[in-house]
Amino acid sequence: MIKACIFDLDGVIVDTARYHFLAWKRLAAELGIPFTEADNERLKGVSRLRSMEILLELGHITMARDEQERLANKKNGWFVEYVERMTPAEIFPGVPALLQDLRRRGQLIGLASSSKNAPRVIELLGLAQAFDAIVDGTMIVHTKPDPEIFLLAARTLNVAPHQCVVFEDAEAGVESALAAGMACIGIGSKEQLPLADRVLPATGAFDPAMLATLDVRQPRATP
């Protein structure tokens, strides 16, 4: 039986995935690297520095680590500028109602985001009270696709991994959830997220009645 719903943030709760894309695209333009939305799929869910490495791979550029860090921080500055202008009106349609409905049904609700900006985004959206546990990029060593972040969220919620379902828009995030032994609802298209158990076009399209129909994974030994 599913006892906890764990949500990714960027691209699942709010369209900050768009702001990440715009900020990386701006940096790519400065570096003369062609960068499309399809390229951006590889950056979703992974850490800031891993995203920087992928961008440089796309441009066939090698660069010293401290310069990579400087440029990744520059991208983050732009991202933060976009985010600071955000209002709760930008939460995806149906998401606040879904979170309330899940809570009424007794589900525990977690947030697991690779982003170090996640606490600020949640604060700006006024959603802090909607979550029983928040795990962000500052609390983990290995970002998605490693399962660490979702396992930490489950531990914080005091539930076993096989009792959790994850909502994810990133391929790396789906891999992370499955590696953690959790069910996974992909948000996007089946082409982008072929490994997810179900794929929905938007988070607000999730019907909590689906919780009873999800294939629960076999319990695994707790790591």
What contacts 36, CB < 8 A, 6 or more positions away? none
Q: How far apart are alpha carbons 177 and 162 in whole angstroms?
A: 10
Phi first, then psi, for residue 123 (nearest 5°) are: -65, -45
Tell me the closest approach of the beta carbon of residue 128 to ligand BG6, in angstroms. 17
Q: How far is CA 14 from CA 42, 47, 96, 118, 223, in A?
A: 19, 18, 11, 11, 31
Tell me the closest approach of the beta carbon of residue 33 to ligand BG6, in angstroms. 16
Here's the x/- map for ligand BG6, 70-109, by CB under 6 A: it reads as: ------x---------------------------------
Q: How far apart are alpha carbons 51 and 71 in whole angstroms?
A: 11
Residue 156 near ligand BG6 by CB under 6 A: no
User: In this chain, which of 3, 103, 116, 155 binds ligand BG6, going by CB under 6 A?
Assistant: 116
Residue 11 near Mg ion by CB under 5 A: yes
Residue 137 near ligand BG6 by CB under 6 A: yes
- Choose, from 10, 132, 146, 197, the residue flagged as catalytic: 10
Answer yes or no: are the C-beta atoms of 12 and 168 closer than 8 Å.
yes
Q: How far apart are alpha carbons 150 and 158 in whole angstroms?
A: 12
Residue 8 designated active-site:
yes
Q: Which is nearer to Mg ion, 11 or 161 (CB)?
A: 11
Q: Which residues bind ligand BG6 (CB under 6 A)?
A: 9-10, 17, 20, 43-48, 51, 76, 113-117, 137, 170
Query: Catalytic amino acids?
Result: 8, 10
